[in-house]
Every structure is written in structure tokens, then in C-alpha cells.
Structure 1
Amino acid sequence: MAKNTGKPSEEAFEAAWNRIGKRAYFYRIPDAAEHYGRAGKIIHARPTPSDYILTVDGLTAYAEVKSTQNRTSLPFSLLKKGQTVAGRQVLAAGGVYLIFAHNLLTDTWYRIPFEVVRAVEALGKASLPWTELENFKWNLNTKT
């Protein structure tokens, strides 16, 4: 399988929300790669809290899109330190932080509330097996 850049998953994520028109709005937060592309050099930018800020049918959430070729689980190491810190702060402030995980091997999407990651981390685990994420499967065509 080709190298996972994450870009095809982000494009599919954006296309899904674009299909429902005015019911959804997302803002892509510029990341280090985008800053590099604009400036032509490495610049010092603040860590981003997530890939997107997403509003759908009145609900606003921070949304992080992750793609992986891991056969057994979603490793939390895919989340950057700044994203993990932001997720904790968003939850503490009463907000919503969602991880949209794309298993590239099965082309299956999952919509995982950050609270679930926190609960699993509290048990001393560093990943969530795909078999335990069945209740979080997400269909790009339903967008809820």
C-alpha cells in the first residue's frame, strides 16, 4: 500500500460535508505543511488544536481526521501532543472534540468522541482495537 499522507482522507471528509450544503460548515485550520507551502520554508507556527472546526445542524466541534493502515487498532500516538492537550481543554470547557478515524485497510470510518480516548487512556491503554469501535462506525453518506 502507498504511503499514507492523510490527504485523501481529509479530501473525502471535506467532500462529505460539502454534499449537504448549508447544514454544515467546516474551517480547515492551517497546519505546518500549509504554512511551509505558503512561506516556502519552515516557520515557527503555533500547534493546531485539530484539523477542522466543524458545525453541523447547530453542533460545533473540533474535528481531527486521522487515517491509518494499522491492522488491529487506532493508536493514540497518531494524535499530536497539541491535539491531545487541546482535546482535554475543549472537554474541560464543556466543548465537543471528535476524532474521525479512517481505517485505510477496510475503508471504514469511525466518529470517536475524545471522551472515549480519555477513558481508554485512564485504563493505561494506548490504542483502541477496531473490534471495540463498532459502535462508532460512521458513514460518510449520512454525515451525522
Structure 2
Amino acid sequence: DEAGVWAQRLANRLGAPVVQAIHRPVRLWDLTAGQGRSIEELRGRRVMAVSGLARNETFPALLRSLGAVIEAPLGFGDHQDYGAADWAMIRRVFAESGAEWLVTTAKDAVKWTAEEVRGLPVAVLEIGFEVTHGAEKFWNSIRQILA
């Protein structure tokens, strides 16, 4: 296949194995209920998208592609350290937006405390990683590193 040809050419040029992988949404984690939810539950749901990414516009776009209705996209700086002023803004925008859920990235959610999210219906979009070409080479390399 075309990806395999491309990977082999690159591997030959670099003198190292090259693998191809994709990232894709795998589930929602409902912080309020403490349980996983199907991504299908985003379809038609009014959400506020909160992210601190290098390209924040990609997160609401991803949620839209999954069927969510974005009521309020709120982007912060990459690797944002959320403070009291940020939380005041998040709460105000959420209250004004009419959104049912505040959906964020796993990268951001790990920085949030239980106190900060108390009373907010927060869901985390979890992203999976799948090697689509060269999986055997990839896992062999990982095993060698860990041995």
C-alpha cells in the first residue's frame, strides 16, 4: 500500500524503522459520574469545549465531527496552568452558554482538581493511539528499550 511504500522509503533514508500511527477518539470519561461513556453520546449534545492546546481550534472541530453542538469554545494557551481567574471565566462562560457538558482534553483534565470542577458536568475526550503500519517493528523497538 502507499503508506507502506512511503514508510519504507523514509526508513531507508533515515536508516531506522519508521511506523505510521493514527490518533482517534476512543471514549468519554464522565468526571461527574466517574464512569466511561460512549462517544456516541456527544451526538446532538450541546457542549462547551475547553482546551489548552497549541492549536485550540482543532478540539471544537473534532467534537463537531463527532456530532457535538459547540455552544462555547474556550481555548487557553498550550500547557495552560489554570488559575482562579481562568476558573471564574470557565464557570461564567459555561453558565451563559446553555451547554449541557463541559468537554475537555485528557491533557487539561489531569491539571484540574476536584474542587475546581465541583458542580460542573465535565467529560474528558480520551484519544487512543493505533499503529497502522509497522506495528511489529514498533513494539519490538519498545521491548528492546524496556529490556
Q: Taking structure 1 as the reference length, what is the TM-score of the superposition?
A: 0.31
Bigger relative CO (Cα 8 Å, ≥ 6 apart): 2
Larger Rg: 2
